Structure 1
Amino acid sequence: MNSTYKTIIIDDEAPAREGLQNLLSQFPETFTIIDIAKNGIEAKEKIETQKPDLIFLDIEMPECSGFELLAKLEQIPIVVFCTAYNQYALEAFETNSIDYIVKPVKKERIAKTVQKLTSFQKNISQDEMLKVLKDIASKKEVKKMTSITVKKNDRLLFIKLEEVSFFEADNVYTKIHSDSGVYLSNETIANLENKLPDNFLRIHRGIIINKDFVNDIQKYFNSRFIITLKNSKQSSVTSGRSYNEVIKSWINT
């Protein structure tokens, strides 16, 4: 029996990929990382050509989600889902081919995966996997992302969403405004909008606010609003005209 599992890491966030790679490297007797993939499309090609024993797979990725990727594969390796959301019923993952880790990933949790691998089977059939995914989808809970990962120098920081007052697009990056500082993320505003919980609202093509931080809202010209936030800087942000109805609907709820 092969002493290590040929492993591919699949995640659209560079800090998450690097963090997981560092953690798995601490278990050289179990994992041999043969490649990484930045999205589901790239992952499909690498899985089919390199035939890994095991993949660490982010669920929510743009263009092709983790679930959509698995549905496209003919031969599915052992899967460890790795995600920021605790939104799927964990009992659905109690199979002999799947594990589930909630970000931020810790070494202790990887050690648990190592223990579980002894009972896992390689190359689950697509029919079996699709049945499991169907069970998972039927047991969805409200999505709940609780933190966002950012890289600062050689460190990975986990910023709690409850401390974030707003997100602001900045060229190819997104600024994360919190009372502990301003951080840069590789996530786009569009990706964040799909991932964030309901207390976040996009009010401009380049701004998402935390509704829990809103202090007051004033009407502005051209169907826009000025929103003042209860952060340390008492920040004011201006909404975009095309978000007028979204904001009015929120105000009236």
Structure 2
Amino acid sequence: MRDVLLNHQIWWLAILMLIVFVAGFFQSAAGFGFSLFAVPVGAMIVTPRDIVVTIFLTSCVISLALTRTQREHIVWREAKRLSIGAVVAMPLGVWLLQSGSASMLRLILGISTTAAALWSLAVARRLHRPWVDSNLFGGLVGAVSGVLNTSLSTNGPPLVIYLQGRRLRPEEFRATISFVFSVSNAVGLVMLLGGNAVHVVDVQLFGTTLLAAGIGTALGFRQAAKINQQYFGLMVNTLLLLGGLTSLVKALFG
């Protein structure tokens, strides 16, 4: 296993730190977006497998911190059904991570990110009726997020779409999704460690970028109440779309 601090130039690491800084800001200000932004963009610098695991490790810390600061706004009914579904489906995601090739993983990253961004830009804002209040439906959404969490470290899209459809208030949305992220990440971390999916290079990248992610998260949390959520959401989803398209182009054309 290569030594990241020797084989990656300092300026590449600086760019990666900037990526996780911006991703942390998005995560705390909008409630989601850390992995959706950091994984496809970061995959342009390091291998898709390495960036997936590195961002997963970082998101474990970020989501736990956000959950603790917003716990009084958690909608427990939604949090429980989504978390249970996610935990049940996570082993499948670990298997996909271990068996997928780098090019295929990059292609999946591009497709999932682009689809999520297009949905948010063109469809989600037009929904006028809430999703059905069903434990089964919520559990299925959680299951999809669980597979994405341990395989691609991008479990946000199904959760975001579902919770938007449930018409939660902004503070409830951010708190509930942060709780689901925390539970999913805690269980997923155990599974990744048990499956020997965490390598030395992942821990090195995690240690290098954690401070930048923490600073971005803190700034985003302080600015959340001051940001026009409609225009901020448009900006976030536009950046996600660009990141997804970039990954698709690289996967298809090299």
Q: Same fold (TM over 0.5)?
A: no
Instruction: Pick the structure with greater CA Rg.
Output: 1
Which structure: greater helix fraction? Answer: 2
Greater share of residues in strand: 1
TM-score (norm 2): 0.25
- Give the TM-score normalised by the residue count of structure 1: 0.26
The structure showing larger relative contact order (alpha-carbon pairs under 8 Å, at least 6 residues apart) is: 2
